[in-house]
Chain A
Amino acid sequence: MADQLAIGSRRGLKPALPLLLPAYLWLTVAIFLPLSAMVFFSLMTDLPVAGKEWSFTLGNYAAFFSQSLYSTLLLSSLRLGLEVTLWCVVIGYPAAYVLAKVLKGRSREAIFLLVILPFWSNGLVRIFSWAMVLREGGILDTALNAVLPFKINIDLMYSYPAVIIGLVHSYVPYMVLTCYLTLQAIDDSLIEAGRSLGASRRQVLWRVIIPLSMPGLIAGAALIFVPVVGSFMEPRILGGRTGTFYGTVIEDQFVSVFNWPLGAALSFILLAVVLIILALAAPVLRRAA
């Protein structure tokens, strides 16, 4: 027994290498190399294509600080990330709770399937189907006017709420899944113990269940916040003119303006800001978890 434990814990890295290597090779090829190339691009004056002249510069990074447009957009993207994360908590956590603690057997499987169903459809299809629902004379508008006795005009398309709706729809399953996992691991007898000590259901929720499911909430929030801050598809399609965010500006640099160096530099600034936010939040989050 003691021998086996020693084998498991003390033989060091060498025997583990064959297991680690595929993943790290893949990460090197798929992430590290392209990212390094991007770092390189972000320090260039121009793309080295068609024999164009180029030199090294920090100008692309300086552009972020010299023009307030970029930092304003970054702030609104961060706000978008916060709002979407918040809505995902509000919508996803109760669903995860019901899945983990109320439903059993067949009904749990069925509801679970509905949660992960969005993962099976193409992201672009999801967004365009929202466009069908949200536009004036669209499905939501028509349906509401068919039911309501008075005439209302629902035109959410090309607005900030439309972007929020689309993003929450795309990302809420992450929150449900991460919270479901931590909630399911909470022993029912802890809830019963809380109530036997005189705590109401609400007190048990705030003092026992939420603190114990905090790791899931944090993991879900990180999984949602980071990509939402850099999102561009939902803002562009559902937000229209109002959908200009940091992510869409980066996309423009790569897709329409062909200013890859600026796009790369803006991306790395975003990465840095997100890392700083996560680092600052880490001690608070660790205490909460």
Chain B
Amino acid sequence: MAGVQVANVSRSFGAHKALDNVSIDFADGGFYALLGPSGSGKTTLLRQIAGFDFPDAGRIAIGGESVERVPVEKRRIGMVFQNYALFPNMSVADNVAFGLSVRGEPKVTIAAEVQRALDLVQLGKLGGRKPHQLSGGQRQRVALARAIVTKPRVLLLDEPLGALDKALRVDMQIELKRIQREIGITTIFVTHDQEEALTMSDRIGILRDGRLVQEGPPEEIYDRPQSEFAATFLGDANIFRGDATGSGIKLPDGTTIAASTGAAVPAGAKASCAVRPERIRISPGAAKPDPANANTLTGQVSKRIFAGNNSTYFVDRDGQTLKVIVQNTGAERLAEGQPVVLSWSPDSTVLIAA
């Protein structure tokens, strides 16, 4: 096992800067998600770490050893591809055995290791099948077994759950996490699914246009996003834009919003505030001052979406539509068109420099 250090890596394809001076330290044994929209450079970064492509500039080290010019087959990595990339002409066991067999390991060792890996992914009895006889989830497990049987230093996963349906995806998330804990391997996971990134990883790196936008544990990024992009890409957020006052912002209509978390922005500069929809309290009728929820706005419900355990209210206010998520506690439901008061705490408000 080993950590991975990416330092100032840049890679361009023609005029397109796929990676622009990206630096991330992947700690040994951690589960790391690279999150970003398509074209953000997350897969390019993974391919640099794997060695399918070499950076134009910068340094990549696996376990402290510089690898940026080392070809993929010498990097001792394990990789799971988006489409699994199982060899269709080989049985499941031969697929898993491939990495050991090209190394020239003795047959007895290979058979034992393959069985162990298949048992780990709970496919111990399916070694004799061909890949086309397996379901999507089973193929996924074979791909994982094949990637870890060689005891790689790093496990790289390129949107591995993208092709599975929702229920299976949740199962595989849990399974993947269990296996990763069990073998303690440094894992780097590319995804565009924010929920996947939130639930599985120890740390998340958000990429956009080839740059690292923010990096840290999921809670930290969710609670203290440093940019509007990070706030809206990881989870939902209501964004208010205005002028910084030193303790929050002043909206163009004069309303002030207090924020007690986030960046320090000098008074007078442009700034925004982000509030998560589930942090806002929505109540009918006239505004009552509430010291715990000092930020107060009035508006009108324009739409309600009922989703069983919660409801999402869209509230129109001064040309802006705000989103509020309310747990279904059996309390009175608000009707569309009803005037409402929104209130939330400055503690739930993150100040973001423009």
User: Residues of A with Cβ closer than 8 Å to B?
Assistant: 187, 189-190, 192-200, 203, 207-208, 211-212
A contact residues around B73 at 8 Å (CB): 195-200
B contact residues around A208 at 8 Å (CB): 87
Q: Are B102 and A192 in contact (CB under 8 A)?
A: no
A76 to chain B, nearest CB (A): 36
Residue B263, interface by CB 8 Å = no
Q: Which residue of B lies closest to A196 (CB)?
A: B79
Q: Are B85 and A212 in contact (CB under 8 A)?
A: no
CB within 8 Å for A211 and B89 given contacts A195-B73, A197-B146:
yes
CB within 8 Å for A212 and B88 given contacts A187-B83, A195-B73:
yes
- Which residue, of B77, B78, B87, has the highest number of chain A Cβ atoms within 10 A? B87
Q: Are A212 and B98 in contact (CB under 8 A)?
A: no
Q: Are A207 and B98 in contact (CB under 8 A)?
A: yes
- CA gap between A187 and B81 in the complex, in Å: 12
Residue B179, interface by CB 8 Å = no
Within the complex, which residue of A189, A199, A200, A203 is in contact with B81, where a contact is CB–CB below 8 Å? Answer: A189
Q: Are B50 and A197 in contact (CB under 8 A)?
A: no
- CA gap between A89 and B327 in the complex, in Å: 68
B131 to chain A, nearest CB (A): 11
Residue B72, interface by CB 8 Å = yes
A contact residues around B299 at 8 Å (CB): none
B contact residues around A189 at 8 Å (CB): 81-83, 85
Q: Which residue of A lies closest to B82 (CB)?
A: A189
- CA gap between A149 and B71 in the complex, in Å: 44
- CA gap between A284 and B300 in the complex, in Å: 76
Q: Which residue of B lies closest to A194 (CB)?
A: B98
- Which residue, of B50, B76, B81, has the highest number of chain A Cβ atoms within 10 A? B81
- Which residue, of B85, B103, B146, B156, has the highest number of chain A Cβ atoms within 10 A? B85
Residue B52, interface by CB 8 Å = yes
The 3 closest A-B pairs by CB, nearest first: A197-B99, A193-B85, A189-B85
CB within 8 Å for A207 and B102 given contacts A195-B73, A197-B150:
yes
A69 to chain B, nearest CB (A): 45
- CA gap between A192 and B98 in the complex, in Å: 13
Query: Digit string of B87-108 for contact with A (CB within 8 Å is 1, else 0)?
Result: 1110000000011001100000
Q: Are B85 and A192 in contact (CB under 8 A)?
A: yes
B240-281: which have CB < 8 Å to A? none
A265 to chain B, nearest CB (A): 43
A and B contact pairs by CB, cutoff 8 A, 16 listed: A187-B85, A192-B81, A192-B85, A193-B81, A193-B86, A193-B87, A194-B87, A195-B71, A195-B73, A196-B73, A197-B73, A198-B99, A198-B102, A199-B98, A200-B73, A208-B87
Q: Are A198 and B76 in contact (CB under 8 A)?
A: yes
Q: Are B98 and A197 in contact (CB under 8 A)?
A: yes
B contact residues around A195 at 8 Å (CB): 52, 71-73
How many A-B pairs with Cβ below 8 Å? Answer: 65
Within the complex, which residue of A187, A190, A199, A212 is in contact with B102, where a contact is CB–CB below 8 Å? Answer: A199
Q: Are A212 and B78 in contact (CB under 8 A)?
A: no
Query: Digit string of B296-309 for contact with A (CB within 8 Å is 1, else 0)?
Result: 00000000000000
Query: Digit string of B49-85 for contact with A (CB within 8 Å is 1, else 0)?
Result: 0101000000000000000000111101111011101
- CA gap between A282 and B325 in the complex, in Å: 66
A82 to chain B, nearest CB (A): 26
B119-153: which have CB < 8 Å to A? 146-147, 150
Within the complex, which residue of B52, B74, B103, B150 is in contact with A192, where a contact is CB–CB below 8 Å? Answer: B52
- CA gap between A76 and B222 in the complex, in Å: 78
Q: Which residue of A lies closest to B89 (CB)?
A: A211
- CA gap between A24 and B145 in the complex, in Å: 51
Q: Which residue of A lies closest to B75 (CB)?
A: A196
B contact residues around A192 at 8 Å (CB): 52, 72, 79, 81, 85
B150 to chain A, nearest CB (A): 6
A199 to chain B, nearest CB (A): 4
- CA gap between A195 and B77 in the complex, in Å: 10
- Which residue, of A192, A197, A199, has the highest number of chain B Cβ atoms within 10 A? A197
Q: Are B85 and A198 in contact (CB under 8 A)?
A: no
B126 to chain A, nearest CB (A): 19
A152 to chain B, nearest CB (A): 43
Q: Which residue of A lies closest to B77 (CB)?
A: A196
- CA gap between A195 and B81 in the complex, in Å: 13
B149 to chain A, nearest CB (A): 9
A contact residues around B88 at 8 Å (CB): 190, 212
Within the complex, which residue of B76, B79, B89 is in contact with A193, where a contact is CB–CB below 8 Å? Answer: B79
- CA gap between A164 and B81 in the complex, in Å: 45
B contact residues around A212 at 8 Å (CB): 87-89
B contact residues around A196 at 8 Å (CB): 50, 52, 72-73, 77-79, 147, 156
Q: Which residue of B lies closest to A201 (CB)?
A: B73
A223 to chain B, nearest CB (A): 22
- CA gap between A189 and B87 in the complex, in Å: 10
A246 to chain B, nearest CB (A): 37
- CA gap between A87 and B271 in the complex, in Å: 72
A203 to chain B, nearest CB (A): 5
- Which residue, of A192, A193, A200, A208, has the highest number of chain B Cβ atoms within 10 A? A193
Q: Which residue of B lies closest to A186 (CB)?
A: B88
Q: Which residue of B lies closest to A288 (CB)?
A: B89
Within the complex, which residue of B76, B87, B99, B156 is in contact with A190, where a contact is CB–CB below 8 Å? Answer: B87
B contact residues around A190 at 8 Å (CB): 85, 87-88
Query: Digit string of B142-182 for contact with A (CB within 8 Å is 1, else 0)?
Result: 00001100100000100000000000000000000000000
